[in-house]
Amino acid sequence: MQLIALQLDLARQKEHVDYVKHYVDFAKANGYNAVVLYLENAVSTEDTPFFDPNRTYSEAEMREIVAHAESVGIELIPVFENLGHLEKFFEYPQLAHMTECEDTSKDGRGFDIAGAGLSNCGCVSNPDLYAFFDKYVRDVCKLFPGKYVHMGLDEPFDFAVCERCREQLAQGKTRNDMFLEHILHTHALVTSMGKRMMMWDDFFEYADIVEQLPRDIIFCNWNYEFVPDEPNGHWTNRIRKDWFAYYDKLGFDYIFCPQAVGASPTYNFETFTRYAEKHHPFGALMTTWEKYDRFYLSTYPLIAYAGRRWSGLVTEREQLDVYAEILGDRGLAELVSSLQIPWMYYPFHDVNALCQNDYAVLHMFSQKLGYATKRLKEYADAMQEGLQKDIVTETYGYVAQKWTYARIEILSTALYDAVETGDKDAEYFEPYYKELTDVFADVEVKERALWEKYRKGLPSEQNNFHNKFAWLKETLDGMRKFLAENKGKGILYVDFGLNEAFATPRGELWAKYAGETEPKKIYQGGMKPTFVAMDFGGTYGLRFVIENKPVEWITFTVYGEGSMFPMNFRYTQKGEKYVASDVEVLEGYVVNERKMLSDDTRFAEMGYDDGVAHFNDLSLCRQRSTIKLAFKPLV
């Protein structure tokens, strides 16, 4: 492979120049020949004096980084964005007018910038977008003498939804046409600088334009999960394609891009590499992202192993040797290698809203992480000061936080049981809360010391690092309050099926109680299971608190992007259990609704699961599919 690259995300958390140099040196020592700097707006230029200097680099600082990389034989590749992921630009009022829409709940996908309502996607119908970004890219590229420029182009979820863009669509253009035109404009910009363009390829799943693109573009295919015989898709309904076979036939160069996450799990790297080796990749890129509340340290074992493996310095059988070298102990290497923690792990922290039913995988996960947390603390406390101790310390903090999430989920289930049965009071839970508090307090001391060592004087992006330590106290206080306010109330249970991970449907539940004129909202928001990205599938269950009043009916609505697959609704009140006895479709797309009346794993489908349709018509995100359920006592 020609390019063996390692990424550093400077957009989501600024690092000191000396640390960036250290990261470059670490890459060189482990077989990489390039470092990819994910920038977005991380460099301040003459046109952007309003950029926050605490969150960006001056041109002089970036020249210093580039000079160091050149001195050790590493090519630096800048990564820009000029379509999606422009939130860091649009935070500034001088640039916010280039956004695709100012109210994502009305026009877009529903995800906005820090609660401001703005889309993070730029408007390709706004000439200011090209006037600003073309010059910004040129100015920053002057600092990078290398031959590659990565232009991003991933995840433009709110693409072409504003009034100006709709006018182009009304005149006969398609969103595919507009996306193609934007890529061609960007390619011409990069080519005019004498460089070669790279881009993420995820939105080709929605926009079928690959065959119309110049063959010198290098596609970067990111996939962060277990990769079977071919990569799973990224977005709604997970469009699958053997992309590398496709690119080989068309004559494109491409790079495969796994991810290094905390505690260095290997399942993504190993399986993606195995798939790529059946084809002819131009290179490999180990991506790293969003370290605003963590550090890169716990990813060092995998980073070292991947770089050496890709460059032919080690074989698969030497993985533990590399981990032992980086961590300083073979037993520790075996412990870390055994964890395989999934990167996309969605715990439901707010028990006041809902909890997920306990299940076997969560229990096994919790027990494994609980043991690892204790052992990693022992290792970290016993080690001499230095880089290895820092790597182990951060690994301990990462694992401890994941264990805390798992324990809180299990405790949340017990908390809902206590609401339902009334057989446990607040004191029952206090020893468990104290155990979590003690571990988190130890992690906080250790990680604040790491922050002082590696990021002294730098702000935490959106204060995420500091907020994560306040989170546990707020969560435990919320759990105490929850039990005090809800003990003895009813519990609504809903079982769902899961066919894929990356759709973003939302659910809404209302209850009409006897004697009341208006229904009351039970819940509104996301309803995915914890291990959603691990493709466990099967059945998962959620619980919600309801009032202890006779229920006339309950409505359930699905909206957003993608389908939900409800199986069964039931609730308990004062020791009595009630099951669904009838269902009525009120609006939208609902299939097999009567299967929800059976107490088994047959399922209905609600919502719109066609990802390409959503790309071409984001109004589908706001279309509602609703059912109305009646209940009867379980005899």
pLDDT over threshold 90, residue 109:
no
Specify the pLDDT at position 348: 67
Cβ–Cβ contacts within 10 Å for residue 141, how many?
18
pLDDT over threshold 80, residue 502:
no
Q: For 166, phi and psi rounded to 5 degrees?
A: -65, -30
- For residues 324-338, one letter each, b for 16 or more C-beta atoms within 10 angstroms of the residue's C-beta and e for the rest, the string is bbbbbbeebbebbbe
Nearest to 263 by CA among 220, 300, 229: 300
At 268, the pLDDT band (50, 70, 90 cuts) reads very high
- Burial degree of 590 (CB within 10 A; 0-12, 13-18, 19+): buried
- Rounded-to-integer distance, Cα 599 and Cα 12, Å: 46
pLDDT digits (tens, 9 = 90+) for 436-467: 999 999 999 999 999 999 999 999 998 999 99
The alpha carbons of the chain give a radius of gyration, in whole angstroms, of 26
pLDDT over threshold 90, residue 11:
yes
Specify the pLDDT at position 537: 62
pLDDT digits (tens, 9 = 90+) for 611-625: 899 889 988 989 999
At 267, the pLDDT band (50, 70, 90 cuts) reads very high
The mean per-residue pLDDT over the stretch 482-492 comes to 94
Q: For 608, phi and psi rounded to 5 degrees?
A: -115, 115
The pTM (predicted TM-score) of the whole model is 0.95
CB 283 within 8 A of CB 4: yes
β-strand pairing of 625-633 with 504-513: unpaired
Specify the pLDDT at position 115: 62
Q: DSSP for 445-480, please give it.
A: HHHHHHHHHHSTTPPPGGGHHHHHHHHHHHHHHHHH
- Rounded-to-integer distance, Cα 296 and Cα 24, Å: 13
Specify the pLDDT at position 53: 95
The kind and range of the H/E element at 361 are: helix 360-382
124-130 long-range contacts, CB within 8 A, separation 24+: 124/83, 124/159, 124/160, 124/165, 124/178, 124/181, 124/182, 125/160, 125/162, 125/164, 125/165, 125/167, 125/168, 126/97, 126/98, 126/164, 128/97, 128/98, 129/82, 129/98, 130/185
pLDDT over threshold 60, residue 62:
yes
At 530, the pLDDT band (50, 70, 90 cuts) reads confident
CB 272 within 8 A of CB 285: no
- Rounded-to-integer distance, Cα 255 and Cα 276, Å: 9
At 503, the pLDDT band (50, 70, 90 cuts) reads confident
pLDDT over threshold 60, residue 536:
no
Specify the pLDDT at position 236: 84
At 534, the pLDDT band (50, 70, 90 cuts) reads low
Domain ranges of the chain: 3-89+125-333, 355-485, 490-633
CB 217 within 8 A of CB 198: yes
At 493, the pLDDT band (50, 70, 90 cuts) reads very high
- Rounded-to-integer distance, Cα 445 and Cα 307, Å: 32
β-strand pairing of 590-591 with 605-608: antiparallel
Q: Is 173 helix (H, G, I), strand (E, B) or coil?
A: coil
Q: For 239, phi and psi rounded to 5 degrees?
A: -65, 120
Q: DSSP for 33-92, please give it.
A: SEEEEE-TT-B--TT-TTS-TTTSB-HHHHHHHHHHHHHHT-EEEEE--SSS--HHHHTS
CB 322 within 8 A of CB 40: no
- Rounded-to-integer distance, Cα 375 and Cα 273, Å: 31
CB 343 within 8 A of CB 533: yes
Class of domain 490-633: mainly beta
pLDDT over threshold 70, residue 533:
no
pLDDT digits (tens, 9 = 90+) for 210-266: 999 999 999 999 999 899 888 888 888 888 889 999 999 999 999 999 999 999 999
pLDDT over threshold 70, residue 112:
no
At 111, the pLDDT band (50, 70, 90 cuts) reads low
The mean per-residue pLDDT over the stretch 410-427 comes to 93
CB 200 within 8 A of CB 222: yes
CB 619 within 8 A of CB 546: no
pLDDT digits (tens, 9 = 90+) for 317-371: 999 999 999 999 999 999 999 999 988 776 666 888 999 998 888 888 899 999 9
E-strand stretches of 159-225: 196-200, 218-222
Tokens of 6: 């390692």
Specify the pLDDT at position 47: 96
pLDDT digits (tens, 9 = 90+) for 174-207: 999 999 999 999 999 999 999 999 999 999 999 9
Q: Is 241 helix (H, G, I), strand (E, B) or coil?
A: coil
Q: Is 372 helix (H, G, I), strand (E, B) or coil?
A: helix
Residue ranges of alpha helices (H) inside 516-555 are none
Length of the chain measured in residues: 635
At 141, the pLDDT band (50, 70, 90 cuts) reads very high
Tokens of 491: 């519990």
Specify the pLDDT at position 232: 83
Tokens of 485: 């306010």
Specify the pLDDT at position 499: 78
CATH architecture assignment, domain 3-89+125-333: Alpha-Beta Barrel (3.20)
Nearest to 458 by CA among 43, 2, 12, 68: 12
CB 198 within 8 A of CB 80: no
- Burial degree of 36 (CB within 10 A; 0-12, 13-18, 19+): buried
Q: For 227, phi and psi rounded to 5 degrees?
A: -105, 115
